[in-house]
Amino acid sequence: MNLLDQYEQVVGHQEIGRLRRLGEHFAGKRIVHVNSTKTGGGVAEILGWMVPLMRELGIEASWEVISGPAEFYKVTKSFHNGLQGFPVDLHDRDLTLHYEVNRENAARLDLHADIVFIHDPQPIYLPEFTPEGQVGRWVWRCHIDASKPNRMVWKHLEKAIGRYQAAVFSMAAFTRPISCPMFLVPPSIDPLSDKNCPIPEAERLEMLGRLGLDGQRPLLLQVSRFDRFKDPLGVIEAYRLLKPYYPDLQLALAGGPAADDPEGAAVLEEVMNRAADDKEIKVLMLPPDSHRTINALQRSAIVVLQKSLKEGFGLTVTEALWKGKPVVGGACGGITLQVHDYHTGFLVYSPPGAAYRIHYLLRYAEKRQRMGKTGHEFVREHFLLTRQLRDYLTMLLCLERPEDETFVV
């Protein structure tokens, strides 16, 4: 059974039919995605799933990764924070380093293509240093909330956007006025991947035991990079507010390294120090290929948290909802597209607020289960990989066809 037939069993014949129809138009065309890391974070995961699906449609899809010195990733982490509106300490030499690393990568990477998707700020200047005619169309895919950016960061990035034929954001609230057409395409998960497919019960319990967790006791879980914007310390605070009332409660904070995030080690140390006096808190630093482990954790949790303070989209929310788990999430970014109070979970603004909503879900099992079923169907309709690819291909079709020409999908 080929890949498209497997997806058809999940999303239905009609959705796959639309994809095949679009794929016929782009068959043989070369589409390249460029980002800053092969592992760690939602962008890398999506590309790892999407590129094979594009190839299944007959598209010559590939994935390139820029590289640079450690200082480059410190600068681009500041860009990430600055886009989200936080103060940053950047100098002219930092912006020059960003230019130069993009120049070096433009000469190294294989960017001969009909369309190149540039993901996030790290490789945004590649069009500046790529020979004219080498790329048919450039698309900038911003996965970050850029609605209220730091002035210096935005001024630097805005200069590059003029060379793009389109920009893609995850939701309308993330956008800014720019010179090229804008499109809204939320991210997605792959239901066939090791992280999201069904797993045997024996395997789930074995993995829990290997991690030192008790499969018979209630588990709270947050899966995310160790990043201050994910507020892992706030998760621990919410858990401790609940612990006196639920003495059997366990908490797992699971994350992994991201090559383009130099702050991760410091945040992990803060979390370890805060959790050190409680053996019921498991801080799990997992290798990049721990997809089935994360799957087992999410399927074992009674409630999943994503208590972010800032969030691009929050694919860990999507993953949890797909597994029928209600989510208590920070009321920010793409979490607000997915978590709807009393339907798929609860939005919260503080650790006490998170504890209050978790208490409600622990107390009312029937309502918790109903929310889980609603969340699963919500993801099926809106946040699976086939929908995201359909959106991308439809967008590209719009860019190349005259306004008076129609195309029925």
DSSP 241-266: HHTTT-TT-EEEEEE---TT-TTHHH
Residues 210, 145: one domain? no
The pLDDT, as a whole number, for residue 117 is 98
Per-residue pLDDT 10s for the chain (409 aa) are 789 999 999 999 999 999 999 999 999 999 999 999 988 778 999 999 999 999 999 999 999 999 999 999 999 999 999 998 888 999 999 999 999 999 999 999 999 999 999 999 999 999 999 999 999 999 999 999 999 999 999 999 999 999 999 999 999 999 999 989 999 999 999 999 999 999 999 999 999 999 999 999 999 999 998 999 999 999 999 999 999 999 999 999 999 866 666 778 889 999 999 998 899 999 999 998 899 999 999 999 999 999 999 998 999 999 999 999 999 999 999 999 999 999 999 999 999 999 999 999 999 999 999 999 999 999 999 999 999 999 999 999 999 865 544 444 4
Residues 29 and 93 in one domain: yes
- Collapsing DSSP to helix, strand or coil, 82 comes out as helix
Q: Please indicate, yes or no, whether residues 244 and 330 belong to a single structural domain of this protein.
A: yes
Question: Is there a domain that residue 356 lies in?
Answer: yes
Q: How many domains does the chain have?
A: 2
Q: Do 175 and 29 belong to one domain?
A: yes
The pTM assigned to this predicted structure is 0.90
Q: Taking phi first (over 0 means left), then psi (-120 to 50 degrees means alpha), and beta for anything else, what does residue 28 get?
A: left
Q: Does one domain contain both 212 and 139?
A: no
What is residue 200's predicted lDDT score, i.e. its pLDDT? 97
User: Chain-centre distance of CA 35, in angstroms?
Assistant: 13
Helix (H) or strand (E) holding 32: strand 30-35
Please tell me the predicted confidence (pLDDT) of residue 161: 95
Q: What is the pLDDT of residue 291?
A: 94
Residues 264 and 396 grouped into a single domain: no
Same domain, 223 and 299: yes
Domain that holds residue 212: 201-382
pLDDT at residue 262, as a whole number: 72
CATH of residue 241's domain is 3.40.50.2000
CA distances from 346 to 245, 315, 357 (A): 20, 16, 7
Asked whether residue 255 is assigned to any structural domain, the reply reads yes
Q: Confirm whether 218 is domain-assigned.
A: yes
Nearest-Å Rg of the Cα atoms of the chain is 21
The answer on 227 and 109 residing in a single domain is no
Paired sense of beta strands 327-330 and 30-35, if any: unpaired
Check whether residue 156 and residue 271 sit in a common domain: no
